[in-house]
Each structure stands twice: as structure tokens, then as C-alpha cells.
Structure 1
Amino acid sequence: MPHHNRFYIDGQWVSPAEHDVIDVINPATEEPVATIAAGRAADVDRAVAAARHAFKTYSQTSRDERLEILGRIVTAYQRRTDDLAEAISTEMGAPLSLARERHVPAGLGHITRATEVLKTYAFDQTVNATVITREPIGVVGLITPWNWPLNQIGCKVGPALAAGCTMVLKPSEIAPLSALIFAEILDEAGVPPGVFNLVNGDGPHVGQALASHPGVDMVSFTGSTRAGILVAKAAADTVKRVHQELGGKSPNILLDDADFVAAVTHGTQVCFANSGQSCNAPTRLLVPVDRQEEVIALARRVAEETIVGDPRAASTTIGPVVSRIQFERIQALIEAGIKEGATLVAGGLGRPEGLNRGYYVRPTVFANVCNDMHIAKEEIFGPVLSIMPYEDEEDAIQIANDTIYGLSSYVTSGDIERSRRIARQIRAGMVHLNGSRGDTAAAFGGYKQSGNGREWGQFGFEEFLEIKSMFGYMPQSA
């Protein structure tokens, strides 16, 4: 790829203000596979200036003009799917099959969803003699993570473009290769100069400069709660809108009338998927106390059947976690679970047998976990499941809600009315009933320290709009 050491600003690939670089490490080999330019505040200034200039014209484009641009992006994206899958597997360790089947389609899906929203969205409404209109908010700073890189880029860039905003994207410096290809896609699609800009770099230099920049009207951030707090503080002095999708510690409640074989198998597999690196993963499995032994046996079987290995091997279920820092943090939390008295059912410390390099984590299951343990409170972001026994429905709801997070949750029952009743009592932005999947037409986001605002569908689209009331716009009757 010819653009590793450049940024995409004002429709061109440009050299950085300084010549610092960041190594991109393949987590399966622990070896560098590329270097990228490390941006600085001067690069952010240049990108924001381009976006502000472009906003004057792009914000005034018609619905049809934006639909045409989005259509060209979809076509260009589809031509690069193999390149995108290779990049994702290399930069963050996803099995190549998962990259092809889930990661790449996720990014495209959000762009096509934004297109569908734009086709029919009513920007104006009339109340008495007042017309209330929704307009693009302005220049938006987009800061995206490494765990689902294209998913998060797509669900921000797609609706921002559809809404008429211009933008500066800072992808994760850990997994930036797919973002560079994404920028090439938008360039090929003929997105007007300055509408989309990309500056690589780390949080302290580029993220901080973007969040605090007076020329940025909104910042949309996805990442850890710790980093989200820093972004909000940096944005506060300029009173810009801050949209955050942060951490999670999602409860998965199995009621006593559930199909335990199906529910435990599915819940454990979803917890381990993407090497456990999903903010909405069902990491706390809440089960009736008198059924815990049955659940232990089922979860142990899933852990033992999960194949950890080379992302390019067809038999691999999960690859490595993304970095040495992440690997060491997961190891520390597994050790804490053992020391605090949780029952280690499967997995544990160290790499899986036969893997001597790469950031591979053993699929791990703990039982007899209670909410005062670190493995129950902290977002581990690895393939680690905590089985938590409860006494009755009221106890299950109390345990589920006893967390600083509130992103997602899961409820399974043989009686849909029971599932619905429990779902309404969970303090989380999303509830999956009886193994249901997410829907990109719905709203994605959380309560409490899992963030604010929503992504996906019309809800995510409206995050990029400002509301204006024009009084006396309509003629009043005599």
C-alpha cells in the first residue's frame, strides 16, 4: 500500500508535518508488518481547515447528490473486500473467515443503511407557523477503535456523509491499515475534496487535538470508558457535542425454563467470538444457583472445542488478541479471578498449548463469580466468561444491573413474556431476547458509563444533525 506514511487531506495524499512513525504489529506473529505516519496537531489543523472549507458547499448538496456519492462508495467498497479482509486479519488478528464474513460486511452494511435512511428522511416538519428543520451539525471528528475497525468507521462515516457533514477520521493506530484502504475507496468514489479527511496517530497527539479543536463541531468516539472521559474533558472547553460508545459488561440471564444446552452454547460462543474483543459481548452468564453445575459442563465443552490459532488456518475459531498490552491485561485479570476465589472451569493463564508466540489467550471460564470480583466488574476484552449464580428473578435483575456499565444485555426464557418482562427491568441500552441478533435499523448504544447517544439506522443518522426552528415561516391564516 503506497499511502502508509501519508494522510488523506483535502482530496489528496499528503506528507505529515513531522516524520515520526508508528509500527503496526501483526498480533499473530508479534512482528511489524507496516509503519504509519504519526500525526501531530499541525496535521489536525490542516485537516480541520479542509473540512471547514468543504462544509460550505457539501452541507448544501441535495439528497440526490449525497445518495449518488454513497452509491459510488458502495461500488468501490465491494471491489476492495478482499483487500479489506486481509488488512483486518493482519492488523488485529481476526480469523480471515471472520474478517470476510463479519468485519468487512459490517462496514458496508452501515453505509447502505445510511443510504436507506437518507432516501426517505423528513428533514423539515411544520408546527403551527414554525418550520423545524434538521441540518448537518458541521465538521465532525471521528475517533474509532481497533476491535471492529470497519464496523465503527462505517457506522460513523456513512451517516455523517448522508447528513451533509464533513469530517476528520482518526482510526486506531493499532489497526490503521483497513482505514487507509477505506480512504482509498472514498477517493476512488469521488467524494469531494475536504469532505472526508484521515489523520493517523495516537490519542495524546491526534485524538486530543481533534477533540479539543475549536473548528470541530462534534466528536464521535468509540473506545474504552477511560479514554472516553479524556475525550469529553478535551471537548468541554469548546462546548461541542460529544457522542460516545464506550465499554460494557453485559449480563446474559438464563431463566430456569430456557433451553440450557442451546443457550449456554450460544452465549459462550458469542462471548469468545472475535477473541472476546467486543464491547457488547455477553461476558457475565447469570444462571439459577441449582443449575450452575449443568452450565459449567456446557461452557467447559464450548471452551475446549474452541480452536485458538493462526488467523489464516481454516480450522481456527479465534485468533490472538490485538496487542501485548491487551494480552498482559487479560492475563492479570485471569490471575485476579483465581486469587479472588472464582472457580476456574477452563482455560487459565498463559498461551494455549503449542502456541509459543503471538498474543493468544486460552478460552477461559470461571464459575462461582460474584459482583465484587474484578472479573465481574472490569471489561476484560478477552475470551473470558464469568458464570454467576442467582437465587431468583429479582436477584438476577439486581446482579445484572449492579455495574457501572449499561451497553447490552441478554435474556433467555422458554416464555417470551418472561423475557419481555425481564428486559424492561434491565438498565442497558440493548437487550437481546432469546438469542436474537442485532438489527442495524435499530439503535446501538448504552446507559451509564457505556456512553451517550446512539449509532445505527435513523438514530445514528440524527446524531449528526442540528435542529433549527424558523418561527413565522409558514403564512398564518387570517
Structure 2
Amino acid sequence: MIEVVNPTTEEVIGTVRAGTPGDVDTAVTRAAAAFPAWAATAVEERAEVVRRIAEGLTARADELASTMTAEMGTPITFATKVQVPNPVGIANGVADALEAGYFTDEVIGNSLVVREPAGVVAAITPWNFPLQQMVAKVVPALAAGDAVVLKPSELAPLTADLLAEVVAAAGVPHGVFELVHGTGPVVGEALAAHPRVDVVSFTGSTRAGRRVSALAAETVKRVALELGGKSANVVLDDADLGRAVKIGVANAFMNNGQACSAWTRLLVPADRQEEALATAVAAAAKYVPDDPARSGTRLGPAVTAAQRDRVVGYIRRGVEEGARLVHGGVDAPTERGFHVAPTVFGDVTSDMVIAQEEIFGPVLSVLPYTDVDDAVRIANSTIYGLGGAVFSADPERALAVAKRLRTGQVDINGAAFNTSAPFGGYRQSGNGREFGRYGLDEFTEVKSIQR
């Protein structure tokens, strides 16, 4: 059995059975058997099922939010406002794409081009946005007519059980959706290597993504990867610095700093770094580590003791490299729970480890730049390319800079997240896209029929 530990209380709050390669084979076999009938269902029927999944998530929003807070430490307010509504929006966006004619045939000369379900999908999901990432894979795959075997993170498995109940209640037939709990090295690897799995959709670390790709390559299956990030928030010299920094701190510390697309690098004009640091420290001071189940808490714990220690190790590394620690540090801010003090570094250079590697905790690095070209160079200097931001008083100037950033998403002046727009990364942040019609592309095949 796998014990589920509340990272705030350090107490066991549940258990799930650790799956085996045999369990994976059974689930994949059932999914493969159920696939033909589900693939043959009308697109309209599948769209209705997706709408019912969205309705089911909405109906159980409070339960889902409290479960995520308990098992992975996301603040309850963030869970209520983001961790549940985003998946609902993603599901409805997929249904919208179906109803807008995603599966409409195309004629090119004497060819009829049709989209068809890809087959059996293995969905391997993380713990930091458990519901969102499960929905981002499971729902478009089901909508496309695929059968799905889900392997959720063993650190946040209880949310997956709730999703399974919602999916069943929405009318998804037996075998079309299968759930196998377990660890990545056992269940995840068995899924990635299984010869009857046609598509693997994985969200997690870049290291684990490379392993998934290698295993999947043995059977030449399609692989979609949403991996790490080291996103830059580029504040131009004409921007409202105070507003940009406050929004940037909120983004960097959201979900306890455990977000792959978080703006963990704040790039500011060199002559305004001290002003930016003062604002960042004032903003960071409002993120007081506390019980995430309390409505006023902004910063909960790291998901595990090991993750806490990893983040603290990066803070130590930043000090050793010569970055200026202006807020926070390595000391434990609470007596119980895997909390990390919200931390801000100044005088960070792009060659430092804390500016290059994904920390996955509440740590913000402030990097001064000389001009726009220097800012773009710094922003593009990592192996990642998932998220990013640009702030400027001139929207067109901001857009010009956004287009120069080698990253999958860029928010201008704090624009809202869009659950129907494509989400994914460049370079070692992965390949493929999620959400809306772009997410459906990952789970369909395109066939040309010449007439």
C-alpha cells in the first residue's frame, strides 16, 4: 500500500494500493477491448459526456478542493479559485471544440482528410495540479474517442479517485477509463513501454520525461510531454514597476511555488533593481507559511519532506554562488509541516544555478538587465521554455518582446490564464500542446482517403 501524507500535519490521511506491471497489463487490455465501441460513438454523444464531467466537477468542487489541500498542501483559497475552476474550464473548452466541428472532414483535391481516435492513451500526471493535469489529458482523450489508462501521482492519488467517480457518473462505459495507482518506476514505466498503448501523455520533470520518451520509443508510440520550466517575467523600463513586481511575486509563489510555468525569474532594468527588490520583499512578506486549510493562508508547505529539503538546498546554493539574499532563507518557518520560507534573491546572474534550474518552491530570483536585447538574451538563456511574462506601458512594445521569447506562453501585463488556448513548451519544457482543439490534436490520427 502507498500511504498518503498530509504535508501540513505530517500525518497519514489515506492509502491506495500500489499497482504492478500486471495491473497495468490488465487495465490496458480492458481499455483496448473497450476502445472500438467508444471510438464509434457519435461526436455529439462524446461532447455531452464531457459536459457532464464538467458538471460533475462543479458539483463536487468543495470536496475536490479540500482533498487537494489535504494531500498536497495547496492553499484552500487557491484550490477553490483555481485548482477546480481551471479543470472545469478545460473540459468545457474541449466540448466547445467538438461542437465547433473539430471532427469535420476536410477535402484537399481528390483526398478526404479525416480525424480518427488514436487508440489507447496512457495519461501520467503530477501532484502539483492534480485535477487540472488529469482533466487536461483524460477529457480530450475521451472526447477524441480514445480509451484511457490514468496513472496519477502517488503523492496526490485521492483526487484521482474522486475524478474516477465523476467520470463514471458522466456515463463513460466500463473499460474506456481505467485508473491504476502506483509509482513512476513501476506503473508509469510499464505504461510507457506497453505495446498496446498508442499514446503517452506525461506531465512531470524533464528527467522523468526523457525516461518516458526512451521507453515509448521502443514501440514508436506518440508521446506528449509537459515538463519543467524556468519562466522569466520581463519588466520593461516603461512599465508600472510596482504593479509588475507584485503580480510577479504572486505568480512565482502561487501553489506554494510548485508550478511549472511560474515566473521564477524577475528581470528588471539594472538601475531600478533596488526599487524592485524593496517591492518584492514587501509583497513576499505577505506570504506567511501557515495551514493551507485556513482561508487566509497564501503559502502552504512543500508536498514532501524531500521536496522541502530540495528547495532549501537551492537556497543554500544561491547564497554560495553570491546571490544577495534579501528575504527568507533556509530556516524552517514552522515547527510542523514541510514549509519553506518565501525567499527573494537579488543580484542574480543568468549563469547561476538558481537562475537556470527549476527549484519548484517559493524562491524568486531578481536579475538586472542593461537593455531590451539583454533582457531577451537572459530570458532565453535556460534549457526551458514553458511560460513567461512581459510588462510595459506600451502593449505593442510588450507584444514585440513577447514574440522574441522562446517559450510556449507569454502573458502581457498580467493577462488572465486561458483554459482553451494551447498550453505547452519549447525545448526541454516538452512537446505537444494541451487544452481546447490543440489538446485534441494529441489524441487523434489524421487519415487521407483518395477518391
TM-score bracket, shorter-length normalisation: over 0.9
Q: How far apart are the structure 2 equivalents of 1:366 and 1:122?
A: 47
Q: Which residue of 1 is the match for residue 94 of structure 2?
A: 114
Pick from 203, 208, 232: which aligns with 1:227? 208
Question: Structure 1 residues 410 and 41, CA, compared in 2 at 3 Å: closer, same or farther?
Answer: same
Matches within 5 A, 1:2-13: none
Q: How far apart are the structure 2 equivalents of 1:464 and 1:134?
A: 10
Amino acid at match of 1:467: V
Deviations 1:354-408 (A, max 9, x none): x101011101000000111111111000000000000111111111111000111
Pick from 127, 139, 161: which aligns with 1:158? 139
Q: Which residue of 1 is the match for residue 110 of structure 2?
A: 129
Aligned with 2:300: secondary structure?
A: coil
Percent sequence identity over aligned pairs: 51
1:83 CA displacement? 1.4
Aligned with 1:366: secondary structure?
A: strand
Q: How far apart are the structure 2 equivalents of 1:374 and 1:265?
A: 24
Matches within 5 A, 1:319-398: 319-352=300-333, 355-398=334-377
Q: How far apart are the structure 2 equivalents of 1:227 and 1:250?
A: 20
Matches within 5 A, 1:25-424: 25-123=5-103, 124-352=105-333, 355-424=334-403
1:268 CA displacement? 0.7
Question: Structure 1 residues 109 and 122, CA, compared in 2 at 3 Å: closer, same or farther?
Answer: closer
Question: Contact 1:285 / 1:386 at 8 angstroms: preserved in 2?
Answer: yes
Question: Contact 1:367 / 1:387 at 8 angstroms: preserved in 2?
Answer: yes
Q: How far apart are the structure 1 equivalents of 2:55 and 2:375?
A: 47
Aligned with 1:372: secondary structure?
A: coil
1:72 CA displacement? 2.6
1:441 CA displacement? 1.9
1:71 CA displacement? 2.8
1:93 CA displacement? 0.4
Tell which deviates more after alignment, 218-227 or 189-198.
189-198
Deviations 1:202-250 (A, max 9, x none): 0011000000000000000000001100100110100000000000000
Q: How far apart are the structure 1 equivalents of 2:69 and 2:315?
A: 25
Cα RMSD of the aligned pairs, angstroms, is: 0.9
* Larger Rg, first or second structure (1 or 2): 1
Q: Aligned pairs, how many?
A: 450
Question: Contact 2:18 / 2:182 at 8 angstroms: preserved in 1?
Answer: yes
Deviations 1:12-69 (A, max 9, x none): xxxxxxxxx1111100011111111000100000100111011111011101221222
Q: How far apart are the structure 2 equivalents of 1:269 and 1:189?
A: 36
1:427 aligns with 2:387: no
Tell which deviates more after alignment, 186-195 or 392-401.
186-195
Q: How far apart are the structure 1 equivalents of 2:34 and 2:101?
A: 23
Amino acid at match of 2:160: A
Amino acid at match of 2:430: G
1:74 CA displacement? 2.6
1:315 CA displacement? 2.1
Q: How far apart are the structure 1 equivalents of 2:179 and 2:76?
A: 25
Tell which deviates more after alignment, 284-293 or 106-115.
106-115
- Structure 1 residue ranges without an equivalent (≥5): 1-20, 473-478
1:78 CA displacement? 2.4
Q: Which residue of 2 is the match for residue 17 of structure 1?
A: none
1:269 CA displacement? 1.2
TM value normalised by structure 1: 0.93
Q: How far apart are the structure 2 equivalents of 1:228 and 1:440?
A: 23
Question: Structure 1 residues 122 and 104, CA, compared in 2 at 3 Å: closer, same or farther?
Answer: closer
Question: Structure 1 residues 64 and 149, CA, compared in 2 at 3 Å: closer, same or farther?
Answer: same
Q: How far apart are the structure 2 equivalents of 1:122 and 1:95?
A: 37
Q: How far apart are the structure 2 equivalents of 1:343 and 1:164?
A: 53
TM value normalised by structure 2: 0.98
Q: How far apart are the structure 1 equivalents of 2:52 and 2:421?
A: 25
Question: Contact 1:134 / 1:466 at 8 angstroms: preserved in 2?
Answer: yes
Question: Contact 1:307 / 1:315 at 8 angstroms: preserved in 2?
Answer: no
Q: How far apart are the structure 2 equivalents of 1:394 and 1:185?
A: 49
Q: How far apart are the structure 2 equivalents of 1:347 and 1:25?
A: 26
Q: How far apart are the structure 2 equivalents of 1:330 and 1:72?
A: 40
Question: Structure 1 residues 122 and 327, CA, compared in 2 at 3 Å: closer, same or farther?
Answer: closer
Amino acid at match of 1:43: D
Q: How far apart are the structure 1 equivalents of 2:73 and 2:145?
A: 34
Amino acid at match of 2:142: L
1:73 CA displacement? 2.1
Tell which deviates more after alignment, 93-102 or 40-49.
93-102
Question: Contact 2:90 / 2:420 at 8 angstroms: preserved in 1?
Answer: no
Amino acid at match of 1:364: T
Q: Which residue of 2 is the match for residue 476 of structure 1?
A: none
Q: How far apart are the structure 2 equivalents of 1:120 and 1:314?
A: 39
Q: How far apart are the structure 2 equivalents of 1:171 and 1:57?
A: 25
